[in-house]
């Protein structure tokens, strides 16, 4: 029986009214890779941040090697033996310094570290660490000159220099090519053999198949499934992660009128299979898939933020190849992007200015804004979608997440669209607002085609007439939203049982 390195019981964490972790029980065992899966907002990153000392927990206990573990801050967590390699590699290394300094950086912050740095001693120490990890680069080279995988290795090697009991890897392959990822997996195998308990967070099925000893799924701040018996039930894990409890939204799928947008032989990446797809007038198509499946890439191509590798797009029968969002908007293609905080909300503006931002020219005469018109249009939209606020003059930041999202979507409903793209419209949105948004999108669907990009199957089922599943930048399945065979769809989401050749490139998610 393997020994439990880390025991988590009843862990809870809230941010204001937002109950993010609702009683997590989890054991991490020495010499085992535990894969943590969960959709956006499931609470994975909060759990990681509690473990690595960024957040204090509200309730529950964590034991590390039998002793209570209550890190005061990130440095304390590392000192006690929980080391995290974060998703963004450049957060983990300092590109302007050499390998030796990077590998020994933590030593420099230890209390009692000597005032002067002796390079020769530092390098000897660094060489020892590097050899222990099987790294063969010159410790004097600048980290910024190394490739991504090497930088990742260095971040991990630095973490390992502390001989941790628990190593947390947050989406470590997200910017690695297949060959680079294989080097990382070899390193993980080595660490597992040394008896380190590894918590591996990923969405990539091919990675998970390669490294997982055990899969833990999270959903809505709770553990929704643990799969420990070999052979691991990967499809079960995906459905536990995405969940598909029957929704109480009744949808009568419409097939729509004439095609509005047609993708012909569109390749998202040079190496991916061509996509043929059409969205029709009045129809709502949901495009679903795991992180990295190509959803965001497709949205970006349609909105002029990225170029397809091959193939063509037709809008109302005419060729459509936007080079900028401006050109897309001019053709009536609107995108409500994901991550509204960084991509959509103008924090300095009130609701009315946020709402009318894309169409200010319609609200101005000879460049001068007509505040009255702006206010009236905003008020009308506030009533239509049911935004809870005092009025259009409120600062956008006073609204809750769901209401902010309603403003961000309402912004694109002011003028009629030909093609409306909604990328993760339900991200960070409570269930009530989600229903309101879904209902409103369906009610206004006539006269345009709508494509909704969602990673949760629930959300797709709630809004779409037709669901398209993407996997590895290609269409893996297509379903009309009526009596869908969920098992089949889930297996399309998680991909074929044989790991497909992994593409190294990313779609930017």
Partner 1 sequence: MGNDRLLNFAIKYGFLILLAGMVVYFGLAAPGFASPRSAVFVLQSVAITGILALGVTCTLVVGGFDLSIGAVATSALMLSAYAMVVLEMSAGVAIGLCLLMGAAVGLVNGLLIVKFRVPDLLATLGMMFLLIGLQRIPTQGNSIATGMALPDGSTAEGVFSSTFLWLGRHRLDLVIDNLVPLPVVIFLLIALGIWLFLGFTRQGRLMYAIGSNERAAGLVGTPVNRYKIAAYMISGVMASIGGMLLAARLGRGDIASGTNLLLDSVAAALIGFAVLGAARPNAFGTATGALFVGILLQGLTMMNAPYYTQDFVKGVVLVAALVFTFYLSSRRGTGRS
**Using the rule CB under 8 A, is 348 a contact of partner 1?**
yes
The DSSP secondary-structure symbol of 186 reads: H
**Using the rule CB under 8 A, is 325 a contact of partner 1?**
yes
**Using the rule CB under 8 A, is 346 a contact of partner 1?**
yes
CA distance 118 to 388: 61
Angle of the 178-193 helix axis to the 148-160 helix axis, nearest 10: 10
Cβ-proximal residues to 265 (8 Å cutoff; 6+ apart), any chain: 274, 275, 276, 310, 311, 312
Count of residues binding partner 1 (CB under 8 A)? 31
Residue closer to partner 1, measured from CB, 236 or 358: 358
Among 60, 358, 401, 504, binds partner 1 (CB under 8 A): 358
Stretch that binds partner 1, among 180-188, 393-401, 466-474, 500-508 (CB under 8 A): 393-401
**Using the rule CB under 8 A, is 345 a contact of partner 1?**
yes
The DSSP secondary-structure symbol of 415 reads: S
Up-side HSE of residue 283: CA atoms within 13 Å toward CB?
Answer: 23
Among 226, 306, 357, 484, binds partner 1 (CB under 8 A): 357
**Using the rule CB under 8 A, is 344 a contact of partner 1?**
yes
Residue closer to partner 1, measured from CB, 50 or 299: 299
Residue closer to partner 1, measured from CB, 348 or 416: 348
- Region of residue 40 (phi > 0: left; psi between -120 and 50: alpha; otherwise: beta): beta
CA distance 410 to 16: 26
CB count within 10 Å of CB 287 equals 27
Q: Which of residues 21-60 bind partner 1 (CB under 8 A)?
A: none
**Using the rule CB under 8 A, is 369 a contact of partner 1?**
yes
Residue 179 phi/psi, 5° resolution?
-65, -40
Site string for partner 1, 402-431 (x = CB under 8 A): ---------x--------------------
**Using the rule CB under 8 A, is 257 a contact of partner 1?**
no
Residue closer to partner 1, measured from CB, 360 or 488: 360
Residue closer to partner 1, measured from CB, 291 or 369: 369
Residue closer to partner 1, measured from CB, 370 or 482: 370
- Residue burial 415-448, b: 16+ Cβ < 10 Å; e: rest: eebbbbbbbbbbbbbbeebbbbbbebbbebbeeb
Nearest-approach distance from CB 459 to partner 1, in angstroms: 21
Instruction: Give the start-end residues of each E strand in 100-221.
Output: 166-170, 197-201, 214-219
- Region of residue 112 (phi > 0: left; psi between -120 and 50: alpha; otherwise: beta): left
SS3 (DSSP) at 375: helix
**Using the rule CB under 8 A, is 225 a contact of partner 1?**
no
**Using the rule CB under 8 A, is 342 a contact of partner 1?**
yes
Residues making contact with partner 1 (CB under 8 A): 303, 324-326, 328-330, 335, 337, 342-349, 353, 357-358, 360-361, 363-364, 367-369, 395, 397-398, 411
């Amino acid at each position: 029986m393997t020994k439990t390195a880390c025991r988590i019981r009843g862990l809870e964490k809230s941010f204001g009214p937002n109950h993010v972790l609702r009683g997590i029980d989890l054991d991490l065992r020495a010499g085992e890779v535990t894969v943590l899966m969960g959709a956006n907002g499931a609470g994975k990153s909060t759990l990681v941040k509690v473990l690595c000392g960024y957040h204090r927990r509200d309730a529950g206990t964590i034991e590390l090697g039998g002793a209570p573990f209550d890190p005061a801050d990130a440095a304390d967590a590392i000192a006690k033996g929980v080391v995290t390699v974060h998703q963004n590699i450049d957060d983990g290394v300092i590109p302007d310094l050499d390998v030796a300094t990077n590998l020994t950086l933590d030593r420099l912050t230890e209390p009692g570290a000597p005032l002067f740095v002796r390079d020769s001693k530092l390098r000897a120490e660094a060489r020892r660490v590097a050899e222990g990890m099987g790294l063969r680069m010159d410790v004097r080279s600048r980290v910024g000159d190394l490739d991504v995988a090497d930088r990742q290795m260095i971040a991990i090697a630095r973490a390992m220099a502390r001989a941790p009991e628990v190593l947390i890897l947050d989406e470590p392959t997200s910017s690695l090519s297949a060959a680079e990822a294989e080097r990382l997996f070899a390193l993980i195998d080595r660490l597992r053999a040394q008896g380190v308990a590894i918590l591996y967070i990923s969405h990539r099925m091919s990675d998970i198949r390669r490294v997982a000893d055990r899969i833990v799924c999270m959903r809505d701040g709770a553990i929704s499934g643990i799969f420990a018996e070999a052979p691991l039930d990967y499809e079960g894990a995906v459905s536990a992660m995405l969940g598909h409890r029957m929704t109480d939204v009744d949808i009568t799928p419409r097939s729509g009128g004439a095609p509005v947008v047609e993708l012909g032989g569109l390749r998202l990446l040079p190496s991916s299979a061509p996509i043929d797809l059409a969205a029709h007038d009045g129809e709502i198509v949901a495009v679903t898939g795991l992180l990295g499946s190509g959803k965001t890439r497709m949205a970006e191509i349609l909105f002029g933020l990225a170029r397809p590798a091959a193939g063509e797009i037709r809008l109302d029968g005419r060729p459509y190849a936007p080079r900028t969002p401006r050109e897309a908007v001019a053709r009536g293609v609107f995108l409500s992007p994901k991550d509204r905080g960084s991509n959509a909300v103008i924090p300095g503006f009130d609701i009315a200015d946020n709402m009318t931002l894309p169409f200010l020219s319609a609200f101005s005469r000879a460049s001068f804004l007509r505040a009255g018109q702006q206010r009236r249009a905003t008020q009308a939209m506030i009533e239509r979608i049911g935004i809870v606020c005092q009025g259009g003059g409120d600062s956008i930041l006073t609204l809750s997440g769901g209401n902010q999202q309603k403003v961000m979507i309402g912004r694109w409903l002011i003028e009629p669209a030909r093609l409306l793209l909604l990328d993760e419209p339900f991200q960070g949105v409570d269930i009530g607002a989600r229903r309101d948004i879904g209902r409103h999108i369906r009610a206004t669907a006539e006269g345009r085609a709508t494509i909704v990009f969602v990673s949760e199957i629930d959300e797709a089922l709630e809004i779409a007439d037709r669901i398209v599943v993407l996997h590895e930048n290609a269409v893996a399945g297509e379903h009309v939203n009526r009596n869908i065979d969920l098992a089949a769809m889930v297996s399309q989401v998680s991909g074929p049982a044989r790991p497909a050749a992994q593409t190294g490139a990313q779609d930017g998610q």
